[in-house]
Homo-oligomer: A and B are copies of this chain.
Amino acid sequence: MENVKVIIWGLGAMGGGVADMLLTKKGVDIVGVAGRGKKIGTSMYDYIKTEKGDREDVLIQAAEDVIKPGAADIVILCTDSFTKNAFPRLKFIMEQGINVITSAEEMAYPAAQNPDLAEELDKIAKANGVSCLGTGINPGHIMDLLVLVMTGCMTDVKHILSRRVNSLSPFGPAVMEEQGIGISVDEFMKRKADGSMAGHVGFAESVGMMAEGLGLCVEDFSQDMNPIATDVDRKSPYGFAAAGSCAGVSMTADAKLCNGMEIRMEHPQQIEPEQVGVQTGDYVIIEGTPAVNMVNSPEVEGGLGTIAMCANMIPQVINAEPGLHTMITLPIPRALMGDVRDRICPDKKIVK
């Protein structure tokens, strides 16, 4: 079998990370990178951590010039967070007859906020005989999929608390800016009011996925964000929060499902939580029979986790029945450790 052929669209932290990861794997080739502006014509290796060495070069091209029928088995799209922004790109990829995985957070469960677009994507996928998946660490795994997997050993579920306490310290300047690291509490409240405070994108999607997974639906959903004001100076590689300013954002959501069951989501993210004695971790706390009281500590690092999920789901998406998928319609995620080709159904291979 030919190696699995992958095109990466967007070489930011996520797309670049996927490139670095795939270059360490067997049976898979990066056959193209789609980008724009001044990056076009330059080498992929100028933007990732891996050195080119003896490898053949991969030049960045306009999407239209590289994503063509038969050019690859799958495209990894890492350019957006929101379904409506990713939609035209997803449509274009699938209309070339190529499968796609995207790291866009809302695409982990697009039916939550864009049911019409989700339906449209499903139609486009089926019409072109390909599959589409949105995934990442969160939404996509740690606050939703993992919760569902644990309910698999329960005879009854009464209440779900999904908590991710993470450190923003590993992230770069863009995330520091986006999450308001170092701004005043007043400024935070102003940004929150005008909608320019990013916070975490994905609670509605996680809740929607969990509800569908359990065979229920969402009756009420609300979310909130509040500043994590620090009482000591905190300094991370790319961020600084003076005492009294914002060291992070605390996001929460509350949902009620159609059977009356409640889901609580808690996601405080901040730089240098250790400095103030906060133990980071991923918590799955489920009331029911039997109860679940699980923690992974420290938390799975968000960047690496999303990169891994996008790459590790490649075989499942290539092998899937055509359509729009979510993490609950495909076999479980797991690390790609052998030859990727061994996990591909021959009749699903596009580049033969």
Contact = CB atoms under 8 A, between A and B. Distances in A.
Interface hub of A149, A282, A290, A293 (most chain B Cβ within 10 A)? A290
A148 B73 CA distance: 24
Interface in A293-338: 293-298, 300-301, 304-305, 307-309, 311-313, 327-338
A261 to B, nearest CB: 7
B215 A154 contact: no
Contact of A340 (B215, B298, B337): B215
A222 interface: no
B153 A141 contact: yes
A6 interface: no
Interface in A145-180: 145-146, 148-157
A122 to B, nearest CB: 15
B294 A301 contact: no
Nearest to A340: B215
A289 interface: yes
A339 interface: yes
Contacts of A284: 296
B215 A339 contact: yes
A129 interface: no
Contact of A304 (B137, B289, B304): B289
Nearest to A289: B304
Contacts of A329: 331
Given A148-B332, A148-B334, A342 B215 contact: yes
A295 B282 CA distance: 11
Interface of A: 17, 21, 24, 137, 141-142, 145-146, 148-157, 213-216, 258-259, 261, 282, 284, 288-290, 292-298, 300-301, 304-305, 307-309, 311-313, 327-340, 342-343
15 contacts: A137-B153, A146-B149, A148-B332, A149-B333, A151-B312, A152-B313, A153-B300, A153-B305, A156-B335, A214-B334, A215-B337, A215-B339, A290-B304, A290-B305, A294-B297
